Amino acid sequence: MARTRGGIDLGGTKIQAVVVDEDNAVLGQARHPTPTSGGPVDVARAMAGALHEAATAAQVETRALAGIGVGSPGEVDVVLGTVGNARNLPDWLEPFPLVTTLTDLIGAAVAIGNDVQVATDAEFHLGSGRPYRSLLGVFWGTGVGGGIYLDGRPWLGRGAAGEIGHMVVRIDGAQCLCGRRGCMEAYAGRAAMEGRARRRLRRGHNTDLFELMEKHGRTRLTSGIWARALAHEDDMAIELIDEAVAALGAGVASAVNLLDVEAVVIGGGLGLRLGEPYAARIATAMQPHLFADTRPPVVELAALGDLGGAIGAALLADSLVSAPG
Amino acid sequence: MARTRGGIDLGGTKIQAVVVDEDNAVLGQARHPTPTSGGPVDVARAMAGALHEAATAAQVETRALAGIGVGSPGEVDVVLGTVGNARNLPDWLEPFPLVTTLTDLIGAAVAIGNDVQVATDAEFHLGSGRPYRSLLGVFWGTGVGGGIYLDGRPWLGRGAAGEIGHMVVRIDGAQCLCGRRGCMEAYAGRAAMEGRARRRLRRGHNTDLFELMEKHGRTRLTSGIWARALAHEDDMAIELIDEAVAALGAGVASAVNLLDVEAVVIGGGLGLRLGEPYAARIATAMQPHLFADTRPPVVELAALGDLGGAIGAALLADSLVSAPG
């Protein structure tokens, strides 16, 4: 049981925990909602709770785990074990010592990493990226995140590489939630798409998006709501998704023109929910922008699905020598 | 004299040759116009002629050189020693055995590489990039080329990395000479800028650009003509250069958002001619698009100037064990 590890993917809406064996096969998993009030300590408690539930499902004690990995949004300091500036989490702007807090709560050693990077690690080592030495992970969700592998190794730059969502696809274009203009995410991020839908609704355009949202007890346009609206052939949903796919096509092709990677792996909440047909649509939207257009990269859906982030987080625990407890 | 080497930068308008010593100091150099008629053999003869002149200036025999490196446009096959699809060179679409042809003409071993990559190599090892482990070379000339160093090594992808000029800065934007739309080069490449100037002139806009061109005996809007028109405060020149700088700002910032490199080095005919003030303007134009905007990369002008490509080509000759002749 020595190499049994835990992984926690901390997201703005959900906390996904897994317990995996030495071959990274999932022995148990649990998903809890992310607290929307309180602060970092409450979120850490919810994370520990999700991990406990996953461990129970796996029939192991959390103290017996060889280590726990965490994939986190915000500014992650791997050395200090802190997370700051996590704007989708409650009252979490100052750096918070997540590693020591979780170590105390769980009783096992904890390692931390960037959420998008650990999801890319998982796809590279265990998922759709396995056959390749270079890849770009594109995580199409609330925002659009990117992870990079080159020559078999992650490329992190000075710590902030992979911000594919903030590549400019239209100079002086739409306002992004980051405050800049014309970012790919301003067209393709789910949060920005919801803003666009609300503005069009106010201008008198028709849509069933918000009725579907209320009918399904949501307060936001989730990936599931977008998928349902597309299935209902809602004009505004089709139009906004078309614009998102066009932006992803231009932005991802730009990244490929720069890096000439072998493969692009599409993940993220919206990418996974819309699935293979939309990975294929993104590939088609990339094609007219590719410079080396006779040999485009392979474009594939993330193979590990919703668990990829948590499984990638568990890979981080390999860097921990042994549990302290 | 054993490590005295030659380097040739083959461009669409000029052939630049250098002879360098073991410390890569330039012992002699020569610049010849690139033949505009004939075919690859004529270009190869002109290259050999330029190298002979550089060797004469350096007081060495070309046969005594430890090797010759060539930086070439088009599709370079390093293993086969061929160049094909060189659209700016006369009748040079089919792969031509440039390495064996030059070896015969010069009597020394020849190595070949991509023109933009060898210029990036030169800046990384000997020029403005020396203090850094990661950099992006941006060569602003007829087109806009890019070269990448990550963690101290060139990144070539599957052979076509660095096509920064064809990153999309405006979806459905201006037609690029590559046939695609909205590429950075469609706004910032000198060839595209000339097309834009001609179209605006035909639509009745005023400019002195073409009078300056004729007065100086040119048939194209060279970097020098653009610089003169800016000095004359020609409205159209100012406007088109402003658009070019805006496109470079968005495109280079997008590349930095993806790669988070330490430094950007600006070279190329137009970049070098306009010099430091324009490198600074590009840095300013990047700033509003940078995601990690509190620590932008260093942006510097290429230190080796017009000779960078030829010096970088000479670095290739280090891979040659000895001269055959």
Chain A residues at the B interface, defined by Cβ less than 8 Å, are 134, 146, 148, 150-151, 155-164, 166-171, 173, 178, 180-182, 246-247, 250-251, 253-255, 257-262, 288-289, 291-292, 295
When CB atoms are compared, the residue of A151, A168, A259 closest to B250 is A168
Contacts of B134 in chain A (CB under 8 A): 157-158
Statement to judge: residues A64 and A164 lie in one domain = no
Angle at A210 between CA A144 and CA A218, to 5 degrees: 70
Statement to judge: residues A92 and A198 lie in one domain = no
Chain B residues at the A interface, defined by Cβ less than 8 Å, are 134, 146, 148, 150-151, 155-164, 166-171, 173, 178, 180-182, 246-247, 250-251, 253-255, 257-262, 288-289, 291-292, 295
Give a yes or no: residue B124 inside a domain.
no
What are B70's strand-pairing partners? B8, B112
Confirm if A315 and A121 have CB atoms less than 8 A apart: yes
pLDDT tens for each residue of B83-116: 999 988 999 999 999 999 999 999 999 999 999 9
Which residue of B114, B257, B293, B298 to mutate against A (max A Cβ within 10 Å)?
A: B257
**CB atoms A289 and B166 under 8 Å:** yes
Which residue of A132, A133, A171, A243 to mutate against B (max B Cβ within 10 Å)?
A: A171
Q: What is the CATH classification number for the domain harbouring B206?
A: 3.30.420.40
Statement to judge: residues A154 and A275 lie in one domain = yes
Q: How many domains does chain A have?
A: 2
When CB atoms are compared, the residue of B155, B167, B259 closest to A257 is B167
Q: What is the dihedral of CA A91, A93, A94, A100, to 10 degrees?
A: 70
Statement to judge: residues B250 and B265 lie in one domain = yes
**How high is the mean pLDDT of chain B?**
95
Instruction: Give CA separation, A73 vs A85, A266, B196, in Å.
Output: 9, 18, 44
- Nearest-Cα distance to chain A for B121, in Å, is 17
DSSP letter for A181, please.
Answer: B
pLDDT tens for each residue of B167-224: 999 999 999 999 999 999 999 999 999 999 999 999 999 999 999 999 999 999 999 9
Give a yes or no: residue B52 inside a domain.
yes
What are B140's strand-pairing partners? B144
Statement to judge: residues A108 and A208 lie in one domain = no
Give a yes or no: residue A28 inside a domain.
yes
Structural domain boundaries, residue A101: 5-119+308-319
Taking residues B305-312, what's their average pLDDT? 97
Give a yes or no: residue A222 inside a domain.
yes
Task: Extract the runs of DSSP E, i.e. beta strands, from chain A.
Answer: 5-10, 14-20, 26-33, 68-72, 75-77, 82-84, 110-114, 135-140, 144-150, 153-154, 263-267, 298-301
- Nearest-Cα distance to chain B for A181, in Å, is 8
Statement to judge: residues B21 and B96 lie in one domain = yes
Statement to judge: residues A193 and A225 lie in one domain = yes
Statement to judge: residues B249 and B313 lie in one domain = no
What is the model's pLDDT at position B2?
Answer: 54
- Nearest-Cα distance to chain B for A101, in Å, is 28
Instruction: Give CA separation, A146 vs A75, B18, B20, B81, in Å.
Output: 15, 42, 43, 36
Statement to judge: residues A54 and A182 lie in one domain = no
pLDDT tens for each residue of A131-187: 999 999 999 999 999 999 999 999 999 999 999 999 999 999 999 999 999 999 999
Contacts of A250 in chain B (CB under 8 A): 168, 171, 182
pLDDT tens for each residue of A202-234: 999 999 999 999 999 999 999 999 999 999 999
Angle at B32 between CA B27 and CA B33, to 5 degrees: 155
Contacts of A255 in chain B (CB under 8 A): 258
ipTM: 0.95
Statement to judge: residues B30 and B76 lie in one domain = yes
Q: Is B204 exposed, middle or buried (0-12, 13-18, 19+ CB in 10 A)?
A: exposed
Contacts of B171 in chain A (CB under 8 A): 169-170, 246-247, 250
Residue A321 predicted with pLDDT over 60 = no
Which residue of chain A comes nearest to B295, CA vs CA? A158
Q: Which of A49-58, B1-10, B148-157, B225-234 has the lowest mean pLDDT?
A: B1-10
pLDDT tens for each residue of B44-58: 999 999 999 999 999
Taking residues B142-166, what's their average pLDDT? 96
Give a yes or no: residue B169 inside a domain.
yes
Q: Confidence class of residue B13 from pLDDT cuts 50, 70 and 90?
A: confident
A·B CB contacts under 8 A: 130
**CB atoms B166 and A257 under 8 Å:** yes
What is the model's pLDDT at position A319?
Answer: 79
Give a yes or no: residue B325 inside a domain.
no
Statement to judge: residues A112 and A225 lie in one domain = no
Taking residues B276-299, what's their average pLDDT? 97
d(CA A263, CA A266): 10
When CB atoms are compared, the residue of A162, A246, A260 closest to B159 is A260
**CB atoms A168 and B164 under 8 Å:** no
The 3 state secondary structure assigned to chain B is CCCCEEEEEECCCEEEEEEECCCCCEEEEEEEECCCCCCHHHHHHHHHHHHHHHHHHHCCCHHHCCCEEEEECCEEECCCCEEECCCCCCCCCCCECHHHHHHHHHCCCEEEEEHHHHHHHHHHHHCCCCCCCCEEEEEECCCEEEEEEECCEECCCCCCCCCHHHCECECCCCECCCCCECECHHHHCHHHHHHHHHHHHHCCCCCCHHHHHHHCCCCCCCHHHHHHHHHCCCHHHHHHHHHHHHHHHHHHHHHHHHHCCCEEEEECHHHHHHCHHHHHHHHHHHHHHCCCCCCCCEEEECCCHHHHHHHHHHHHHHHCCCCCC
- Nearest-Cα distance to chain A for B183, in Å, is 8
DSSP letter for A297, please.
Answer: P
This prediction has a pTM of 0.95
Chain centroid, CA B224 distance in Å: 16
What is the percentage of chain A residues whose pLDDT exceeds 70?
98
Give a yes or no: residue A79 inside a domain.
yes
pLDDT tens for each residue of A59-107: 999 999 999 999 999 999 999 999 999 988 999 999 999 999 999 999 9
Residue B323 predicted with pLDDT over 70 = no
Which residue of chain A comes nearest to B292, CA vs CA? A160
- Nearest-Cα distance to chain A for B8, in Å, is 26
Name the one residue in this structure whose structure tokens are 């080095």.
B265
What is the model's pLDDT at position B324?
Answer: 45
Which residue of B136, B181, B258 to mutate against A (max A Cβ within 10 Å)?
A: B258
Taking residues A4-20, what's their average pLDDT? 96
- Nearest-Cα distance to chain B for A199, in Å, is 22
Q: How many CB atoms lie within 10 A of CB B104?
A: 13
Statement to judge: residues A91 and A137 lie in one domain = no
Give a yes or no: residue A22 inside a domain.
yes
pLDDT tens for each residue of A247-274: 999 999 999 999 999 999 999 999 999 9
Contacts of B261 in chain A (CB under 8 A): 157-158
Which residue of B164, B171, B176, B295 to mutate against A (max A Cβ within 10 Å)?
A: B171
